[in-house]
Structure 1
Amino acid sequence: MLHLDIPTRNEFSLLAEKRADACVSIYLKTSPITENVQASRIELKNLIRDAQNQLEEAAFDKKRLAALVDGLNDLLDDDDFWRFQANSLAVFATPDTIRTYRLANDLTSMVQVSDRFHLKPLFRVITFSHSAFILALSENAVRLVEMNADLPPEAVTVHDMPKDAASAAGKSTLNDRSMSGRIHGTEGLNVRLEQYVRKVDGALRPVLAGRERPLIVAATGRLADLFKHMNSYHNTLDETISDSPDRLSEAELAARARPILDASYKANIAEIKALFDKRTGERRTTTDVSDAARAATFGAIQTLLVDIDSVVAGFIDDETGAVTFAEKDDAKAYGIIDQITARAFGSGATVLGVRRDEIPGGGDLAAILRYPL
């Protein structure tokens, strides 16, 4: 399985607010297969050296630099840490602290050095999860399956999960009458199934609490409708796997879930593009970096699409949002698009990290505004 520790919204906010004399942000391609991580460790060593060179060129304090590099090298040398990885690793380090996050997404390796962390690639994790949960639900059985990119899916142990619909109702069969004689026939079956779905939902809550990844339901008939009506998980996709899950292995469930996950992502991007086109006629959009910086500074961005791989070095004035572009991406300059992203996120905007060809206009960003500039 993938070993993930995705930052929560609060953790992201703390990272975005962090300022220090040196903030090193490293994104590294990794592998969940332990035998393949040596190449990632070598690449991390090179990225650490790159960060060190940038800080030396900026005449950074030698003692503080030594503390920073020592912390990164301690991570590099930690064999136990490298035994359990995902598809990418994000490292955020200062001379005083170091934070790591193992991510399911395949991110481009890079290092950024400035007085704040480079966080834009993390929005790819939020925007398009390459992982999902699948709930295989039938009268005869129920199981939760975790699917991740490039790895076989696995069943997840869920405490207090009912075995089947009959046992959830405390019965050996769903066809008997209640003591009062009221619960029988179609009406009785519906009541029993509602009890079953309610218990399934209750068992899932501790497992899914605080999660962001999608839940895809594999169920048919009445059970599919009941779970859609009673389920409490906020990121359950509307489209379901309509085949009977009893006949499907974990691998077959994952194969049917992948197109649903892809379609959900594409539909979300298509909706935003359609809204962008509509708001353009109302003068409530921009693809200009300088305009977006001002809008983000004053909380005017409603939705923001950003290219997760682009880096435009420079500075944004904290008061006016005015942009100064840098000729060189060094230890003093930071990513302008990244800072726009953080400011928009901080003001409650919906922010999506996407590929360049998914952005209206094909530039570094596209913003839908709350009001005309």
Structure 2
Amino acid sequence: MLHTDIPTRGEILALASTTGPWCVSVYTPTEADTPTPDKNRVAFENQVKEVLDRVTDKQAGIALTDAFADLVDDEDYWRFQSRTLAVHATPTGMRTYRLPNRLEPSATLGDRFHIKPLLRAVTFPQTAFVLALSENAVRLVEVAAEGPAAEVAVAGLPTDLNKYLDLPPLGRGPHGRLQGSEGRKVRVRQFCRAVDQALRPVLAGHDIPLILAAAEPTDSLYRSVDSYPLLLAEGIPGNPEHLSDGDLAARARQLLDQHYAAELANVRSEFEKRRSDGRGVIDLSDIARAATYGIVHTLFVDIDASVPGAVTPDGALAAATGEAPGVLDEISRRVLLSNGRVLAVRGDDIPDGAHAAAILRYAP
């Protein structure tokens, strides 16, 4: 089982807003549930030592060293990992995320965090929840990009429609009661609403899709009361009682791939439409200025590329004066802080094979 902590948009914005002289970002590829967790820990510890050796402020160095030592010494934490561990720390605090994506190792020190690798996990998260819903059974299954699926315990989750069907007949005005198929439909919707309410505290704070596995009319009735905004429009049809967690995971991954491919194709199509009116740009200097002045609506950025340098306060590209995450990271940060959308994708997914491309809110 993968143990994931995928950051929400709010958490990423908090990281993007953090500035200071000693911002440390460490990304370490890990193995999930490895019988030798020290392998992950030693690799991480070596990266930390290398980056902390560059901290020249004594008090900041002591605070960072103590914080990282506490994490390294937490044996239980290292027993449960995902594909990549991301740690962002300052002398006053630390945030850790166990990501389902396999990212390249890196350790950076600067006046802000290196957040671009983190964006891959939230651009097209390869994790999802599957709600297997039928009249005789209900289960919530967590699915990751790799590895086995796992059922999630949900307190108060209704497991059987029968207790709703056994309730007294429904009154609907003074002249009659709901009976037959109409009454059953109302009871099934009540059952679905109770399931939705039980899921709320479990799904709260997650920014990953929910996929519904259900037969009709339960599928439509659940969707009519669902409160989770990331429920995919396409679900897994049929009675899920006959599908194992592994079967649900396999079908969910196919749906995720189709969903994200369609979403990316739509955004690329929008970019091509905007080129003619000056709102689709690929020149990095133009994108940097647009990001600085808050007019980037959507940014494509190459997750694997690195462009050394910095972006000045007025949006010009410049040589870096010290350690810095780089131009692409800073552009991404400015887009996020102006409420733009950042798609961290592979180079082949960016128009013209550029390092970045942007759809602007309006032509400059």
TM-score by length of 2: 0.92
**Following the alignment from structure 2 to structure 1, what is the Cα–Cα distance between the partners of residues 198 and 52?**
49
1:265 partner amino acid:
Y
Aligned to 2:7: 7
* SS state at 1:302 partner: strand
Aligned to 2:164: 168
**Following the alignment from structure 2 to structure 1, what is the Cα–Cα distance between the partners of residues 323 and 140?**
48
**Following the alignment from structure 2 to structure 1, what is the Cα–Cα distance between the partners of residues 107 and 322?**
11
Shift of 1:170: 4.2
Deviating more after overlay: 330-339 vs 227-236: 330-339
Pick the aligned partner of 1:324 from 296, 318, 326. 318
**Following the alignment from structure 2 to structure 1, what is the Cα–Cα distance between the partners of residues 113 and 179?**
62
Shift of 1:228: 2.0
**Following the alignment from structure 2 to structure 1, what is the Cα–Cα distance between the partners of residues 345 and 8?**
19
2:124 partner amino acid:
F
Instruction: Report if aligned partners of 1:193, 1:223 keep a CA contact under 8 Å in 2.
Output: yes
Shift of 1:71: 3.2
Aligned to 1:361: 352
Check if 1:110 corresponds to 2:100.
Answer: no
Counterparts in 2 of 1:36 and 1:295: CA distance versus 1, 3 Å: farther
Instruction: Report if aligned partners of 1:27, 1:88 keep a CA contact under 8 Å in 2.
Output: yes
Percent same amino acid among aligned pairs?
A: 45
Instruction: Report if aligned partners of 1:113, 1:331 keep a CA contact under 8 Å in 2.
Output: no
How far does the alpha carbon of each residue in 1:160-207 deviate from its partner, in whole angstroms, 9 at most, with x for none?
A: 222222223444xxxx95588622222122112111111111111111
Aligned to 1:76: 72
What is the 5 A alignment of 1:35-46? 35-46=35-46
**Following the alignment from structure 2 to structure 1, what is the Cα–Cα distance between the partners of residues 74 and 208?**
29
Check if 1:21 corresponds to 2:21.
Answer: yes
Counterparts in 2 of 1:81 and 1:177: CA distance versus 1, 3 Å: closer
* SS state at 2:101 partner: coil
Counterparts in 2 of 1:52 and 1:253: CA distance versus 1, 3 Å: same
Pick the aligned partner of 1:257 from 252, 271, 275. 252
Instruction: Report if aligned partners of 2:154, 2:202 keep a CA contact under 8 Å in 1.
Output: yes
Shift of 1:343: 0.8
Structure 1 gaps of 5+ residues are none
Moved over 6 A (4+): none
Alignment size in residue pairs: 361
Counterparts in 2 of 1:178 and 1:41: CA distance versus 1, 3 Å: closer
**Following the alignment from structure 2 to structure 1, what is the Cα–Cα distance between the partners of residues 64 and 246?**
44
TM-score by length of 1: 0.90
Structure 2 gaps of 5+ residues are none
Aligned to 2:337: 346
2:39 partner amino acid:
A
How far does the alpha carbon of each residue in 1:22-64 deviate from its partner, in whole angstroms, 9 at most, with x for none?
A: 21111111122132433322322332233245x26xxx23453
Check if 1:304 corresponds to 2:295.
Answer: no
Counterparts in 2 of 1:186 and 1:304: CA distance versus 1, 3 Å: same
**Following the alignment from structure 2 to structure 1, what is the Cα–Cα distance between the partners of residues 102 and 81?**
12
How far does the alpha carbon of each residue in 1:150-169 deviate from its partner, in whole angstroms, 9 at most, with x for none?
A: 22112112222222222234
* SS state at 1:313 partner: coil
Pick the aligned partner of 2:325 from 316, 330, 334. 334
How far does the alpha carbon of each residue in 1:211-231 deviate from its partner, in whole angstroms, 9 at most, with x for none?
A: 111100111111111122221
**Following the alignment from structure 1 to structure 2, what is the Cα–Cα distance between the partners of residues 334 and 213?**
27
**Following the alignment from structure 2 to structure 1, what is the Cα–Cα distance between the partners of residues 335 and 78?**
34
1:365 partner amino acid:
A
**Following the alignment from structure 2 to structure 1, what is the Cα–Cα distance between the partners of residues 263 and 182?**
38
What is the 5 A alignment of 1:122-137? 122-137=118-133
* SS state at 1:221 partner: coil
Instruction: Report if aligned partners of 2:108, 2:324 keep a CA contact under 8 Å in 1.
Output: no
* SS state at 2:178 partner: coil
Instruction: Report if aligned partners of 1:162, 1:168 keep a CA contact under 8 Å in 2.
Output: no
